[in-house]
Structure 1
Amino acid sequence: MKQYLLISFIFIFSSINAQQQYTVYFDFDIDETNSPSTNKLSQWIAENHNVEILKIEGYADSIGNALYNVDLSERRAEYVLEELKENNYIIAKGVEIKAFGEDKAFSKNRAQDRKAIIYYVKPSPPIIPETDFSKAVNTAKKGDKLKLPNMNFYNNSDIMLPESAPILNDLLAILQKNKKLKIDIQGHICCQIKEENEISLRRARAVYNFLIKKGIDAVRLSYKSFGSTKPLHPLPEKNETEKVANRRVEIEILEN
């Protein structure tokens, strides 16, 4: 019984400890954030796009009618929720909205009571499986080039085949864990000396766009293409194996 209570206490304490909060402020009798908080909220959203929202609480100062202040504080909380939604924020289902009105207006500076508090938790760091590719990236040095294995596209297209998903997710998880890692994504083609339709550039850009959409900062990524100027096997290739080897997307380690 004692062991059960201890485990329960540790679980509850960990859950509370993991919960964080962010506060925004409003001008008197206004249900939209004031200018400083609007700017700070936008910055907070950009830096915390993966957090899970638990609840939003609205508050008001003690001036005016108590019922009106409850309504005002609810509108403030709803405003913050809408701002998060409009910025494509990841919103947890069933976010709780609570309006306290002037019930907790204890500050000497009434401006401190005109607020909304966002309660949230940050996601756990991604668990990266120990694939051969992740091991290679972790041991690579600046300037090393690594082929993205099984990174394949439809013929003469920058549309990825479904079999490319595992390596893309592997690369994404590596970048999410190693915040210092910067890479250059490089596209190559096979079989033809003169490239048509910038296919190698489009394929490198497709990988780049995937990572950007998943939240990787653009300052950590770049991309370029080499066409058939840097083949692993001389052109014309002797067989299909050599063609596949030349037709590739690589990453070059810029910083780790």
Structure 2
Amino acid sequence: MARLIYSITGAVFCSNIALNQFAGHLAWSAWFGSTFNCIALALNRVVEMIPAAHDKSVYMWMIVCIAIMIGRAFVTRPVLYNSAVAAYLAAPVISDDAGWEVNHYTSILLPIHNISVIAILGILYVILCCYVVKIRSAASGTIDRLQVQLFLQALVICASTAIAAISYVFVEFVPVPRAVVIMANVTWQFSHGVHGIVYICLNKLIRTEVGDLLRCNNRNPKLFHTSIHTVTVVKGSGH
């Protein structure tokens, strides 16, 4: 929202220093939180698809995520909005000394975090892909359709996050044209907004629920609960 205000009004850092500082902290913490949840999503797919990983789920993801988002603000400065390229960068262009800005605001934590995200997501999905290939090559191996659907959802979501992480590492270390920096910012926005589109396109249940919500259809909660209970009993009985 702050970036939208700055872009529409043509405001710069000095127009509202407090807002820029707050938005910088919020944007950086939101990025840390979203990437952490993306890794948790990928790890959850590993736990669900690989039998050897069952009963070893990691709990309290959201509490840890919130703790990371809050704690980050106490160890690093905010990443300020650069009105020249309409993006949050290490050099916010708020003075005549670009070298001082980079030294003052740049934190090694961000590139380390982004590179770690890329590496962890890559490792988790290599494990998943190897497992899928192994199951498909087995004579009697079968993969549940729901598992494949969940895998594809997680893959698309995590891929968008990985692309955004790579883009920001690239623009931080390599001199690039203004258009490339703006494109990196677009990928960052895309990584936050694509989740809903992916779920609606690839998840039939969510798509149905959204359709009913838009049509203001009132479902019978009792009937819906009974249906779920019946399915659970049948599965538990071994039939």
Coarse TM-score class (shorter-chain normalised): under 0.3
Q: Whose Rg is larger?
A: 1
**TM-score normalised per structure 1:** 0.23
**Relative to total residues, which structure has the larger helix share, 1 or 2?**
2
